[in-house]
A and B are shown apart, each in its own frame.
Chain A
Amino acid sequence: MTDQSTELLRFSTAGSVDDGKSTLIGRLLYDSKSIFEDQYEQIKATSERRGEEGVNLALLTDGLKSEREQGITIDVAYRYFATPKRKFIIADTPGHIQYTRNMVTGASTANVALILIDARNGIVEQTRRHAFISSLLQIPHIVVCINKMDLVDYEESAFEKIRDEFSKFSNKLDVKDIHFIPISALKGDNVVDRSENMPWYDGQTLMYYLENVHIGSDHNLIDCRFPVQFVIRPYNDDFHDYRGYAGRVAGGVFKKGDDVLLLPSGFTTRIAKIETHDGEVQEAFPPMSVTIRLEDDFDLGRGDMIVRPNNKPDVAQDIDAMICWFNEGPMLNRGKYTIMHTTQQARCIVKEVRYTLDINTLHRNQEDLQVKMNDIARVVLRTTKPLFTDEYRKNRITGSFILIDEGTNNTVGAGMII
């Protein structure tokens, strides 16, 4: 019983107060028995005290005092539920305040983006934003739930119209795998149980989709990348000359005996052992945390990278990237920031802003080059030392970075390398 093997699936949702997102999350939690009685009693009492009709499931997801007062969600909230097949982590992001910052944060680690559309309203500005951010952040799978089907008499034509319109828009985006499901979160149609009200739909329910979507290929298993995180040196009698390179595999499959190339030095050697506390392993793949030991001793430290000689990342000081700006003050042209990339840290200067992007129309604006809060822009950065990078499309770990303001130490931007 304790060795039951279940996979972990992370998905992001975004939406405003009225589109039924909280109801849907509430239903997924409730139907998978992840809402506890005392939690339920507590929100029931709060709903009654505030004179609301019925039990407001949104109170489950709105955690902070100011959110409860204002009836809005301010920050990304993480929710958990599990079925016998999978454990799920929901990154629940608000749709209005700070939407880019929060959606991007929630999307950065997601396997699946869940996009919710109100069947009565069809595609709205926020739907486009969410779809665009999902494609920009390269979430491997998108599931579009057309909700409130009960309010459009469960009409197939309403579903088809929205599906076709969405497809037309998403064709312009870089989206690989997309599914459409007609649901009613309130009534429970096609969420966990198949709907009897929509005999014309013979596809999966949402829960079936979440439990079965293939996520085994979401990591890059081709290009071997091991950013050294920490060097383990015990300095004790039992492990006198021990030197192990600890880190998390960012790409590819490393095997004992593999020829490897060390960056930035360019030396080559072989993997002597791949270890964990539980003993030696024959292979290491993402997202395993392991310790690699090499046949020869080199001066290798945090920020360096172990790769394969015939498959090198870009060793670059000029970084061409899409960037999301999070800070109240605009990004400064020629501004200097700290850049964090894998386990590397360097300084960088903004060399050029090529365009800002209107995420509603996808229009590239080359005139107004000021990058303000929640803007998305294409930029070129110059770093003080070379970074070992891949295109974000090929590897979400070696292709991503954050920018840190050197005065306030705040994270002010997130970048995806092109």
Chain B
Amino acid sequence: MDYQMDHLRELEAESIYILREVAAQFEKPVLMFSGGKDSIMMVHLAAKAFWPARIPFPLLHVDTGHNFPETIKFRDDLVERLGAKLIVGSVQDAIDAGKVREEKGLNASRNGLQTGVLLEELEKGQYDAALGGARRDEEKARAKERFFSHRDEFGQWDPKNQRPELWNLFNGQKSMGEHFRVFPISNWTELDVWQYLALEKVELPSLYFAHKRKVFARAGTLLADTPIIQRREEEVLEEKTVRCRTIGDMTCTGVWESDADTLEKIIQEISTTRMTERGGRTDDKRSETSMEDRKKQGYF
């Protein structure tokens, strides 16, 4: 007998270990749910980690009000199926209440506004650990993120003063008012996630699969036609067969021309693609260190 696990099962075992560690070490954890494939996989892993008990923490979705309708429907179906608790933090409400100000102009996005709403929800719910589906291969600032990432009372990340993380010992000790961000799928790559979703036959929103949609090009990215994005005159609509590689706010999620309409074809496409998955995210393109800057302030 060869006692060797394959890489997907080893990654799964690691993530389950982290999820259980969070349930054991924290009083009031919450799982940040974006509707994207990574957070769908997180929910799937959490369901496995605590079976036959229910997931012992609620899901928190910060809704920009600019989500694809498919995302919201998928979220509600998933929550119902698992019998999980869902909390929705609304960016629209925060705008209406004058707590945050909507960006103006052509590339206006509510992406940045999520941070304030997220921090407010975390404080309101007195959550001491917020689980996120970020991966280290996504972006260079995330390559240095810990599994257990300590945040001060302002929710800020201090990349130069992170706790060293050794073996499988995770230090979740904190003072009053501080909290942790925890990233159980840190070691997964985009390809790992897709292979695992296929292996486990996890249900996914239709946006990930090739479909016909009216799109236009801006700064090398294809964006979906929606009333919430202002189009320049020269930006003409075309119908194309596209799919999303990441799903976020409609204003900043690019779509890709692709005819991958099954998981197998998506895996094939990703194994051979030469562009990163966040390459279509206009929020990352604002500056070279825009992810690091946003993370320091408390972004996912």
- Asked if A402 meets B17 with Cβ closer than 8 Å, knowing A230-B24, A238-B52, A242-B52, the reply is no
In the complex, how many angstroms separate the beta carbon of B191 from the nearest chain A beta carbon? 7
With A402-B169, A409-B174 already in contact, the answer to whether A248 and B47 are too (CB < 8 A) is no
Q: Is the CB of B167 within 8 A of A8?
A: no
In Å, the complex CA distance between A90 and B23 comes to 28
CA distance A102 to B211 in the complex (A): 46
Instruction: Give the residues in chain B near A8, CB-CB below 8 Å.
Output: 5-7, 10-11
- The answer on a CB contact under 8 Å between B168 and A248 is yes
A5 to B16, CA, bound (A): 20
- A-side contacts of B226, CB under 8 Å: none
The residues in B between 133 and 161 inclusive whose CB is less than 8 angstroms from any CB of A are 136-137, 140-144, 159-160
Query: With A63-B292, A402-B169, A402-B171 in contact, is A230–B3 under 8 Å at CB?
Result: no
When distances are taken between beta carbons in the complex, the residues of chain A under 8 Å from B3 are 216, 219, 221, 253, 285-286
**B-facing residues in A265-284 (Cβ within 8 Å):** 276-278, 283
CB nearest to A6 among chain B residues:
B7
**Contact between chains at B52 and A109 (CB < 8 Å):** no
Contacts of A409 in B (CB 8 A): 171, 173-175
A328 to chain B, nearest CB (A): 11
**A229–B24 CB distance below 8 A:** yes
CB distance from A52 to the nearest CB of B (A): 15
Q: A232-B53, A253-B3, A409-B173 are in contact. Are A39 and B292 (CB under 8 A)?
A: no
What total of A-B pairs shows CB separation below 8 Å? 186
- Looking at the assembled complex, report how far the CB atom of A293 sits from the nearest CB atom of chain B, in whole angstroms: 11
Question: What is the size category of the interface that chain A forms with chain B?
Answer: 35 or more
Q: Quick check: is A208 within 8 A (CB to CB) of the other chain?
A: no
The answer on a CB contact under 8 Å between A234 and B54 is yes
A402 contacts B173, C-beta separation under 8 Å: no
- Which chain B residue shows the least CB distance to A278? B48
- Supposing A105-B165, A242-B52 touch, asked if A64 and B10 sit within 8 A by C-beta, the answer is no
- Interface centre among A46, A277, A285, A397, by most chain B C-beta atoms within 10 angstroms, is A277
Residues of chain A within 8 A (CB-CB) of B107 are none
Tell me how many residues of B have a C-beta within 8 Å of chain A: 68
Residues of B within 8 A of A200 (CB): none
Taking the nearest CB of chain A, how far is it from the CB of B254, in angstroms?
12
Q: Which of B164, B195, B292 has the most CB of A within 10 A?
A: B164
Hey, which chain A residues are within 8 Å of B198, CB to CB? 2
Whether a CB of chain A sits under 8 angstroms from the CB of B49 is: yes
Contact A86 B288, CB 8 Å, known A1-B267, A232-B50:
no
Interface 0/1 of B41-68, CB less than 8 Å to A: 0000001111111100000000000000
Of B2, B50, B166, B187, the residue contacting A216 (CB under 8 A) is B2
Q: Which residues of A contact B175 (CB under 8 A)?
A: 409
Do A302 and B13 have beta carbons less than 8 Å apart? no
Cross-chain contact B167 with A108 (CB below 8 angstroms): yes
Q: Which of A233, A246, A277 contacts B20 (CB 8 A)?
A: A246
Q: Is B259 close to A, CB under 8 A? A: no
Q: Are B275 and A396 in contact (CB under 8 A)?
A: no
B279 within 8 A of A: yes
B294 to chain A, nearest CB (A): 12
Judge if B206 is at the interface, Cβ distance under 8 Å: no
The residues of A that contact B54 with a CB separation of less than 8 Å are 234, 236
Besides A37-B274, A400-B169, A411-B171, 20 other A-B contacts (C-beta < 8 A) = A4-B195, A6-B6, A8-B6, A36-B275, A38-B275, A62-B140, A74-B160, A75-B159, A108-B166, A219-B3, A221-B3, A229-B24, A232-B50, A247-B20, A288-B9, A289-B14, A289-B20, A340-B169, A409-B173, A411-B163
Seen from chain A, the residues whose Cβ lies within 8 Å of a Cβ on chain B are 1-8, 33, 36-39, 42, 46, 60-66, 68, 74-80, 82, 86-87, 89, 101-102, 104-105, 108-109, 215-216, 219, 221, 229-230, 232-236, 238-239, 242, 246-248, 253, 276-278, 283, 285-289, 302, 326, 338, 340-341, 343, 396-397, 400-402, 404, 409-411, 414
